[in-house]
């Protein structure tokens, strides 16, 4: 890599795959015929694959590649079975390594991680004892596509296990074996998930046990999952297993000390080692090539207030390459990195865009229905079980079918081109494809129709693979008969399909940001820097949000700088002491009415970002409000007795992880530990205690936990049913707590007590209601999908970030705000936005204006409008409608129909299914 930000030249070395990706149709015939079997790295060596293979079923691109190190042809110069049997002629043994020079403006590194290898930990005897497996191996065992097809078997003898133990922190939080002092962040949750899922993969009873130090279920709804696991029988043992030995029958023997110091002995059928994450060698090598710094753990170094930026301008990092994190955080990182790259490249956005032109669409109105049916063999997937010629012959006799064709692979490019030609030559005006799932292939075939000049909604698909040959693989007759029924249904429905046109609406470029904390201001500044006008609405009389109350100098400097950048930006309009009174419209075309300092104001905007923030909860526990020596959070640093105090006690989980707030507030452990470290450094002989339930210093924050212990901070664990007690005495405060290690109540004389109360969302019920955003039981705003769309709302054009979504550290709020900005740009960078044509349609003559459809619509996509002399009638707002059909199903007058799923279309399909 040469050059600098905005003008890099990157040289890429591309290894040969010996398979032409343009020709390969992923039929699998090559792998079926290949004689060489090798250990499958994707199945962690438990299963085998062929020397020509697809790495895993969902690989992108879904194309085969040849493993030259294990291919018989490359070893001995003969074989070529794959080339002989490939129906597409895709094998190319002459393929060679290539180098390409790419001019790029920015670089995003997302090179992933490797899992810790426990082979060197002789006390667990991984690799020696067959029934000791890693968590990744166990995951593959649970997978329906794994080496055991989802059937849980003990590796030593294939027997079904009844007792399984998970051992946490293998390769993490350990400087004795593995030398990884950090927490890998994800292991507790994936162990919980595996323990919960394992019971579904055995026929008998299963007793899962998890041996752990701290259960770190800190993410959104993670604590609820933890409590659910406990309620459903997952056993939790707070202990670290030292050694595993094997009994003659292959079972595993554990001998350990419990919390009370008692020696326990237990037997298990299997042990699962919850292995942590490590920086991969590829990441380290890549970092050296790119000239970017690594942190102490070998991950790519980033800064707290620029969480995806590396040490070199123009190079960004996403995912675990930058540190241990879960899937939602990796997805947020990815969008944040895209935002960072886009912000720098904004002046040239769209200059290299290419737009595909389709031929004019033919008019089918009034023409006789002419249906073409294309039946796919799909290699052995369909044709190996069902009688495809018989299905095709059956289709020829169906009403309105004028053309039928069998294809080896209907999705191949050659077949697609031929299909477009057949549509023109045969004057087809409806097309049915009997193949695999429309979930993955319908868009492909719809594009083929567009290439032939036919409306894409004149297409219907019969899934004769997933719904026939895959589920009836042992009954060819059943699979064939069912496929005929599905084809008949598809043809009947296709006969009644009608062309649909996608509507477009213009987009208002301004952005509305609700909330003037770090998250909202970060998103506002990013979008303004990229050329979009922004209005920031803040309910309070100042900007900065919760971060403005933090005492750390670095935080204050960042907040002050961010506020100055926003208030001084010529594209940002800041309204403080302002509240939203009404919202109308839809993505690209919102109109919001505000009350700003008593003055009404209307803002037209294309999207909205909700960053209303969070606040520490109040409490009446532990003498708070009754004794001024008891403080919350940052109030400690402003207390007049702080500097002279000789004994300070922190109490964690105050109002968190209980019946009222059954969630972890995520940042409290680290915040208290940072304060404790600062207090010890301020006055080394000061006694500092932290009373906790679980210490949740995930990721690199584990180093803070270690530093605090080294400085002499005393950690005492308490349980939910034996909380600490704080009482007053003439000299100050007395804190009593039961210590499970010594098995006694301890009494601590304290000058000050600081409470880590729960973080809860700021009041945003009106805003959520106006923008039609759901919240969970604790009133945090709910994202569209926890993993795949972590900053989108179900309402298109509305996004969330910061503490309104869930408690998080400032760097996580910043990354989420950057991710939101990236998602917003995907909308605002267009001049128009398409509206899905599959929406509900109201028959004005039948509608009686009862309003039931308005009440049941989850997207507020139907409104009642007045009709002179007739009361009201319903009207669909196409831009908001998701085509769910609830309104049509609920209408007592049958006045609502769904385009592309009209009653007559569905009825025709059902009639075809029941009629021979």
Tens digit of pLDDT for each residue in 219-237? 999 999 999 999 999 999 9
pLDDT in tens, 670-690: 999 999 999 999 999 999 999
Highest mean pLDDT among 199-208, 436-445, 467-476, 701-710: 701-710
Cβ 822 vs Cβ 522: under 8 Å: no
Cβ 72 vs Cβ 51: under 8 Å: yes
pLDDT in tens, 427-443: 999 999 999 888 878 99
Phi, psi for 347 (deg, rounded to 5): -60, -25
**What is the average pLDDT across 189-218?**
94
Alpha-carbon dihedral angle through residues 394, 395, 397, 400, given to the nearest 10 degrees = 170
Cβ 244 vs Cβ 123: under 8 Å: yes
Strand-strand pairing, 98-104 and 277-278: unpaired
Cβ 264 vs Cβ 257: under 8 Å: yes
CA–CA gap between residue 373 and residue 395 (Å, rounded): 7
Which H, E and C letters describe 601-619, residue by residue?
A: EEEEECEEEECCCEEECCC
Q: How confident is the model at residue 150, as a pLDDT?
A: 86
DSSP state at residue 598: T
Judge if the upstream peptide bond of residue 178 is cis by omega within 30 degrees of 0: no
pLDDT in tens, 369-421: 999 999 998 877 898 899 999 999 999 999 999 999 998 878 877 788 899 99
| pLDDT at residue 291 greater than cutoff 70 | yes
CA–CA gap between residue 178 and residue 170 (Å, rounded): 8
Name which residue leads in pLDDT, 409 or 889: 889
The enclosing H or E element of 231 equals helix 222-231
**Average pLDDT along the chain:** 93
CA–CA gap between residue 490 and residue 687 (Å, rounded): 76
Q: How confident is the model at residue 345, as a pLDDT?
A: 86
Q: How confident is the model at residue 387, as a pLDDT?
A: 94
The pair of structure tokens assigned to 170 is 């293998």
Which residue is associated with the tokens 């990182």?
Answer: 333
**What is the average pLDDT across 7-22?**
94
Closest CA to 469 of 447, 484, 450: 484
Strand-strand pairing, 65-66 and 52-53: antiparallel
How sure is the predictor about 351, in pLDDT bands with cuts at 50, 70 and 90? Answer: confident
How sure is the predictor about 827, in pLDDT bands with cuts at 50, 70 and 90? Answer: very high
Q: Say what percent of the chain tops pLDDT 70.
A: 100
Closest CA to 331 of 824, 665, 815, 826: 815
Q: How confident is the model at residue 473, as a pLDDT?
A: 86
Which H, E and C letters describe 429-491, residue by residue?
A: CEEEEEECCHHHHHHHHHHHHHHCCCCCCCEEEEECHHHHHCCCCCCHHHHHHHHHHHHHHHH
How sure is the predictor about 916, in pLDDT bands with cuts at 50, 70 and 90? Answer: low
CA–CA gap between residue 270 and residue 142 (Å, rounded): 14
C-alpha distances out from residue 442 to 34, 384, 470, 836, Å: 31, 23, 19, 15
DSSP state at residue 801: -
Cβ 855 vs Cβ 863: under 8 Å: no
Helix or strand or coil: residue 248? coil
| DSSP code per residue over 49-68 | EESEE-SSTT-SS---EE-T
Q: How confident is the model at residue 410, as a pLDDT?
A: 83
Name which residue leads in pLDDT, 658 or 379: 658
Strand-strand pairing, 759-761 and 578-586: unpaired
Q: How confident is the model at residue 162, as a pLDDT?
A: 95
| DSSP code per residue over 68-109 | TTT-HHHHHS---HHHHH-TT--B-TT---EEEEEEES-EEE
How sure is the predictor about 178, in pLDDT bands with cuts at 50, 70 and 90? Answer: low
CA–CA gap between residue 303 and residue 320 (Å, rounded): 15
Closest CA to 281 of 114, 55, 115: 114
CA–CA gap between residue 853 and residue 12 (Å, rounded): 56
**What is the average pLDDT across 248-256?**
93
CA–CA gap between residue 298 and residue 275 (Å, rounded): 17
Q: Show the CA angle centred on residue 371, arms to residues 368 and 372, nearest 5°.
A: 145
How sure is the predictor about 242, in pLDDT bands with cuts at 50, 70 and 90? Answer: confident
CA–CA gap between residue 817 and residue 799 (Å, rounded): 9
Task: Name residues whose C-beta falls within 8 Å of residue 713's C-beta, 6 or more positions apart in sequence.
Answer: 673, 676, 677, 680, 688, 689, 690
| pLDDT at residue 711 greater than cutoff 80 | yes
Closest CA to 673 of 693, 632, 639, 701: 701
């Amino acid at each position: 890599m040469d050059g600098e930000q905005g003008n890099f030249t990157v040289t890429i070395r591309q290894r040969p795959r010996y398979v032409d990706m343009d020709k390969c149709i992923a039929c699998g015939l090559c792998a079926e015929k290949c004689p060489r079997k090798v250990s499958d790295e994707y199945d962690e060596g438990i299963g085998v694959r062929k020397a020509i293979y697809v790495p895993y079923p969902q690989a992108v691109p879904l194309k085969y590649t040849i493993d030259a190190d294990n291919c018989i042809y490359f070893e001995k110069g003969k074989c070529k079975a794959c080339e002989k049997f490939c129906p597409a002629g895709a094998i190319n043994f002459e393929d060679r390594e290539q180098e390409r020079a790419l001019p790029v403006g920015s670089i995003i590194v997302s090179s992933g991680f490797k899992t810790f290898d426990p082979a060197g930990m002789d006390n667990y005897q991984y690799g020696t004892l067959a029934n000791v497996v890693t968590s990744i191996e166990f995951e593959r065992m649970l997978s329906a596509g794994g080496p055991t097809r989802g059937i849980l078997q003990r590796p030593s003898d294939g027997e079904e296990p009844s007792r399984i133990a998970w051992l946490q922190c293998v390769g993490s939080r350990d400087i004795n074996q593995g030398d990884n002092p950090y927490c890998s962040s994800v292991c507790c949750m994936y162990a919980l998930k595996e323990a919960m899922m394992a019971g579904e993969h055995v026929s008998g009873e299963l007793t899962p046990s998890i041996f752990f130090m701290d259960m770190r279920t800190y993410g959104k709804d993670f604590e609820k999952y933890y409590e659910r696991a406990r309620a459903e029988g997952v056993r939790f043992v707070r202990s670290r297993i030292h050694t595993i030995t094997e009994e003659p029958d292959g079972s595993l023997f554990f001998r350990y000390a419990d919390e009370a110091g008692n020696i326990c002995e237990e037997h298990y059928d299997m042990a699962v080692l919850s292995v942590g994450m490590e920086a991969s060698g590829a990441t380290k090598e890549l970092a050296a090539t790119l000239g970017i710094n690594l942190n102490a753990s070998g991950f790519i170094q980033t800064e707290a207030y620029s969480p995806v930026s590396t040490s070199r301008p123009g190079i960004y990092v996403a995912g675990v390459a930058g540190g241990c994190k879960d899937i939602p955080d990796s997805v947020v990182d990815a969008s944040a990195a895209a935002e960072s790259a886009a912000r720098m490249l904004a002046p040239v956005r769209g200059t290299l865009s290419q737009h595909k032109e389709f031929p004019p669409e033919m008019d089918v109105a009034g023409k006789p229905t002419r249906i073409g049916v294309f039946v796919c063999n799909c290699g052995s997937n369909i044709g190996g079980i069902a009688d495809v010629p018989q299905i095709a012959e059956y289709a020829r006799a169906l009403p309105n079918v004028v053309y039928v064709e069998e294809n080896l692979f209907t999705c191949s490019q050659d077949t697609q081109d031929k299909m477009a030609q057949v549509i023109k030559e045969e004057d087809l005006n409806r097309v049915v494809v009997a193949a695999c799932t429309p979930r993955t292939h319908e868009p492909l075939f719809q594009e083929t129709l567009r290439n032939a000049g036919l409306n894409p909604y004149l297409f219907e698909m019969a899934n004769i693979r997933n719904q026939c040959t895959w589920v009836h693989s042992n009954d060819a007759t059943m699979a064939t008969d069912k496929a005929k029924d599905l084809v008949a249904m598809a043809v009947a429905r296709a006969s009644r399909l009608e062309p649909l046109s996608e509507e477009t609406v213009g987009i208002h470029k301004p952005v509305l940001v609700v909330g003037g904390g770090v998250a909202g201001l970060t998103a506002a500044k990013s979008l303004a820097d990229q050329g979009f006008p922004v209005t920031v609405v803040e309910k309070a009389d100042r900007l900065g949000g919760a971060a403005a109350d933090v005492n750390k100098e670095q935080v204050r400097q960042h907040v002050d700088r961010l506020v100055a950048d926003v208030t001084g930006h010529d594209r940002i309009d800041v309204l403080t002491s302002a509240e939203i009174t009404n919202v109308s419209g839809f993505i690209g075309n919102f109109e919001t009415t505000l009350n700003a300092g008593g003055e009404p104001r209307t803002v037209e905007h294309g999207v909205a970002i909700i960053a209303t923030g969070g606040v520490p909860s109040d409490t009446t526990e532990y003498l708070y409000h009754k004794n001024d020596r008891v403080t919350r959070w940052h109030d400690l640093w402003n207390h007049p007795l702080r500097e002279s105090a000789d004994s300070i006690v922190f109490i964690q989980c105050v109002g968190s992880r209980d019946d009222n707030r059954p969630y972890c507030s995520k940042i409290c452990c680290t915040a208290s530990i940072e304060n404790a470290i600062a207090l010890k450094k301020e006055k080394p002989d000061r006694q500092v205690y932290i009373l906790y339930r679980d210490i949740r210093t995930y990721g690199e924050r584990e180093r803070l936990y270690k530093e605090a212990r080294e400085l002499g901070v005393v950690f005492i664990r308490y349980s939910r049913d034996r909380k600490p007690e704080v009482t007053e005495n003439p000299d100050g405060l007395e804190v009593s707590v039961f210590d499970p290690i010594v098995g006694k109540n301890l009494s601590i004389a304290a000058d000050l007590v600081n409470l880590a109360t729960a973080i809860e969302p700021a009041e945003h019920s009106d805003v959520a209601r106006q923008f039609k955003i759901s919240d969970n039981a604790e009133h945090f705003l709910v994202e569209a999908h926890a993993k795949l769309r972590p900053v989108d709302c179900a309402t298109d054009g509305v996004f969330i970030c910061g503490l309104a979504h869930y408690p998080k550290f400032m760097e996580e709020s910043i990354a989420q705000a950057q991710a939101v900005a990236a998602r917003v740009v995907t909308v605002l960078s267009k001049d128009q936005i398409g509206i899905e044509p599959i929406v509900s349609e109201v028959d004005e003559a039948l509608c009686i204006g009862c309003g039931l459809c308005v009440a049941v619509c989850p997207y507020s996509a139907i409104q009642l409008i007045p009709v002179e002399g007739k009361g009201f009638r319903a009207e669909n707002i196409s831009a908001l409608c998701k085509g769910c059909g609830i309104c049509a199903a609920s209408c007592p007058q049958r006045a609502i129909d769904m385009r592309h799923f009209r009653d007559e279309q569905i009825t025709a399909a059902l009639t075809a299914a029941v009629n021979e």
